[in-house]
Amino acid sequence: MGRPSDPGSLPLEPYRVKVVEAISCPSREARESALEAAGYNLFNLTSDQVYIDLLTDSGTSALSDRQWAAMMVGDETYAGSRNFARFVEVVRDLTGFPHIIPAHQGRAAENLLFSTLARPGTIVPNNMHFDTTRAHVLRNGAQAQNLAVREAYDPESPAPFKGNMDVGKLAALLEGSSGKVPLVMMTLTNNTGGGQPASLENLRAVSEVCHRHRIPLYLDMCRWAENAYFIRERETGQGARSIREIGRDLFALADGATMSAKKDGLVNIGGFVATRDAALADRLKEALIVFEGFPTYGGLARRDLEAMAVGLLEATDLDYLSHRVAQVRFLADRLKAAGVPFFEPVGGHGVYLDVRRFLPNLSRDDLPGQALAVEIYREGGVRTVEVGSVMFGDGESPNNGESPLELVRLAIPRRVYSASHLAYAADAVIRVYQRRSSVGGLRMVHAPEHLRHFTARFAPK
Ligand SMILES: *Cc1c(COP(=O)(O)O)cnc(C)c1O
């Protein structure tokens, strides 16, 4: 049964612990010197320098006993492994897409799709491009356009589906230049914009506009089960349906999808592209063989395909999803009680601090999101990530390096941390908030050209 999530109530785990991994908090001096050595980029920290790691929910899930058992039946045949057959059966059953092309992670799936479909002069619309998606669109010479609804950019709007696409803007774009649009994408949930869901109703309208112009609609389905959970919770008439039923409706509206199974596939590595288009599937497989490997393993060990097949199903379990969302709300409730500003309503995989309200004294040139992430690590050994001008302001973006949102994400890994871990992380953020006027800005001293947030280096101003 789902758990009630009254404000402040403990998220009750629908699992118990079978294996443990030791963690400890480095001393304040150790954290200070780690920051300096890392060039104030938290991607450069090692795991033993971090106590609670909320950098990402990607590939950081704890596997279930059933997934570990599944790995033991890995059939490491180069071609035609039985694990591939089982993996394809599960993905076809969940999505209804006939052609399934495995890849080692989401961006590998994106590489296959965009290197095949995107060309210079073309435009790819999305509710909001995730960083790697945008990088693949740009790398292939196309333009990446974000067409999310206006509320998606307002951290204080309580709208239930801030991941929706602005259908009017999409229709206008397709009226004018449908010949230039090889595909339309919808990211479920909208990771860049606070992990917000899109509604079934919105997806129906997007699908209708795309198909009127004979343009295929692809889903970035990384967090589709979390998105379906919010549809079940918030959309009229959906409350009694299962996640898989809602999923089948979502996928029926699309022509294909890319997936990082490191999110709602509950694995440490894995992904795929799925499509209804047989001719496209053949082209994707040609690219697959060059970049990833033979079509029955796609850059993965066959045991990984088996673990992914089990994880994709476990991620649709209502007890699991209720607990996951309750964890996010538990963290958010503690922050809210102390007045910490964050993107509302909270989404499915983490809390996104609203940096402009958290650090109003810092300007965009102070890289306030990065400065806040650094300060939270300094305070408690808690690692988070900037989702703002460092990640999106590299001058390749359509808005000249100005990120419309300035956020710091506390992403919650799946089935990993307890409520006390989350309470500890919340308290570290709260202490920084209470002394926020003492937080100084940063400047970038090394700025790589692509996906710079991963490797940039910073210094205090
Ligand atoms: C993580 C993610 C990707 C890329 O997947 P990787 O497995 O990290 O390569 C693409 N889109 C979204 C929305 C994501 O969250």
Q: Indicate whether 307 and 350 sit together in one domain.
A: no
77: which 2 tokens? 């045949």
Ligand 1 atom, smallest distance to 260 CA = 7
**Per-residue exposure over 289-318, b if at least 16 CB sit within 10 Å of its own CB, e if not:** eeebbbbbbbbbbbbbbbbbbbbbbbbbbe
Other CB atoms closer than 10 Å to residue 240's CB: what's the count? Answer: 7
Q: Indicate whether 230 and 81 sit together in one domain.
A: yes
In three-state form (DSSP H/G/I as H, E/B as E, the rest C), the secondary structure along 119-165 is CCCCEEEECCCCHHHHHHHHHCCCEEEECECHHHHCCCCCCCCCCCE
- If you ran DSSP here, which 8-state letter would residue 72 be given? T
Q: Indicate whether 447 and 353 sit together in one domain.
A: yes
Dihedral in degrees, nearest 10, Cα atoms 75, 76, 78, 84 = 40
Q: Which residue has the tokens 């997806």?
A: 203
Residue 257 Cα, ligand 1 centroid: separation in angstroms? Answer: 12
Residue 223 Cα, ligand 1 centroid: separation in angstroms? Answer: 9
pLDDT per residue as tens digits for the range 352-409: 999 999 999 999 999 999 999 999 999 999 999 999 888 877 655 545 456 778 999 9
In the three-class reduction of DSSP (H, G, I as helix; E, B as strand; rest coil), residue 258 is classed as strand
Residue 67 Cα, ligand 1 centroid: separation in angstroms? Answer: 21
By alpha-carbon position, which residue is closest to atom 6 of ligand 1? 106
Residue to mutate (ligand 1; options 220, 259, 266, 392; most atoms within 8 A of CB): 220
The residue length of the chain stands at: 461
Query: pLDDT tens, position by position, for the chain (461 residues)?
Result: 334 456 668 899 999 999 999 999 999 999 999 999 999 999 999 999 999 999 999 999 999 999 999 999 999 999 999 999 999 999 999 999 999 999 999 999 999 999 999 999 999 999 999 989 999 999 999 999 999 999 999 999 999 999 999 999 999 999 988 799 999 999 999 998 899 999 999 999 999 999 999 999 999 999 999 999 999 999 999 999 999 999 999 999 999 999 999 999 999 999 999 999 999 999 999 999 999 999 999 999 999 999 999 999 999 999 999 999 999 999 999 999 999 999 999 999 999 999 999 999 999 999 999 999 999 999 999 999 999 888 877 655 545 456 778 999 999 999 999 999 999 999 999 999 999 999 999 999 988 877 788 899 999 99
Residue 456 within any structural domain of the chain: yes
Q: Indicate whether 150 and 44 sit together in one domain.
A: no
- If you ran DSSP here, which 8-state letter would residue 61 be given? P
Q: Of 251, 279, 314, which residue is a domain's last?
A: 314
209: which 2 tokens? 């506009």
343 lines ligand 1 (CB under 6 A): no
By alpha-carbon position, which residue is closest to atom 10 of ligand 1? 106
Residue 17 within any structural domain of the chain: no
Residue 353 within any structural domain of the chain: yes
Q: Of 283, 314, 345, which residue is a domain's last?
A: 314
Answer for the pair 104, 292: CB distance below 8 angstroms, yes or no.
yes
The two beta strands, 184-187 and 143-146, are unpaired
CA–CA gap between residue 333 and residue 342 (Å, rounded): 11
Residue 14 within any structural domain of the chain: no
Q: Indicate whether 216 and 74 sit together in one domain.
A: yes
In the three-class reduction of DSSP (H, G, I as helix; E, B as strand; rest coil), residue 251 is classed as helix
133 lines ligand 1 (CB under 6 A): yes
Ligand 1 atom, smallest distance to 187 CA = 13
Other CB atoms closer than 10 Å to residue 395's CB: what's the count? Answer: 9
Q: Indicate whether 305 and 362 sit together in one domain.
A: no
Q: Which residue has the tokens 């890319």?
A: 258
Q: Of 296, 314, 332, which residue is a domain's last?
A: 314
Answer for the pair 116, 284: CB distance below 8 angstroms, yes or no.
yes
Residue 1 within any structural domain of the chain: no
- If you ran DSSP here, which 8-state letter would residue 342 be given? B
CA–CA gap between residue 210 and residue 110 (Å, rounded): 20
Answer for the pair 217, 117: CB distance below 8 angstroms, yes or no.
no
Residue 27 Cα, ligand 1 centroid: separation in angstroms? Answer: 33
The two beta strands, 99-103 and 271-275, are antiparallel
Residue 20 within any structural domain of the chain: no
Q: The pTM is what? A: 0.95
Residue 132 Cα, ligand 1 centroid: separation in angstroms? Answer: 7
Residue 444 Cα, ligand 1 centroid: separation in angstroms? Answer: 25
What pLDDT score was predicted for residue 4?
A: 47
Q: Per 3-state DSSP, what percentage of the chain is helix, strand, and coil (rounded to 5)?
A: 45, 15, 45
pLDDT per residue as tens digits for the range 188-201: 999 988 999 999 99
196 lines ligand 1 (CB under 6 A): no
Residue 4 within any structural domain of the chain: no
The residue segments making up the domain with residue 206 are: 65-314
CA–CA gap between residue 458 and residue 461 (Å, rounded): 9
105 lines ligand 1 (CB under 6 A): yes
235: which 2 tokens? 């959309």
Q: Indicate whether 173 and 263 sit together in one domain.
A: yes
Domain CATH number, residue 69: 3.40.640.10
Q: Indicate whether 394 and 287 sit together in one domain.
A: no
Domain CATH number, residue 424: 3.90.1150.10
Answer for the pair 192, 129: CB distance below 8 angstroms, yes or no.
yes
Q: Which residue has the tokens 């709260």?
A: 430
302 lines ligand 1 (CB under 6 A): no
Going by C-alpha positions, the residue among 126, 52, 20, 149 that lies closest to residue 350 is 52
What pLDDT score was predicted for residue 350?
A: 97
272: which 2 tokens? 């795929």
pLDDT per residue as tens digits for the range 61-84: 999 999 999 999 999 999 999 999
User: What is the amino acid identity at position 4?
Assistant: P
Q: Indicate whether 50 and 75 sit together in one domain.
A: no
Q: Indicate whether 280 and 383 sit together in one domain.
A: no
Residue 247 within any structural domain of the chain: yes
- If you ran DSSP here, which 8-state letter would residue 344 be given? S
Q: Indicate whether 282 and 340 sit together in one domain.
A: no
Q: Indicate whether 44 and 70 sit together in one domain.
A: no
CA–CA gap between residue 419 and residue 458 (Å, rounded): 33
Domain count, the chain: 2
227 lines ligand 1 (CB under 6 A): no
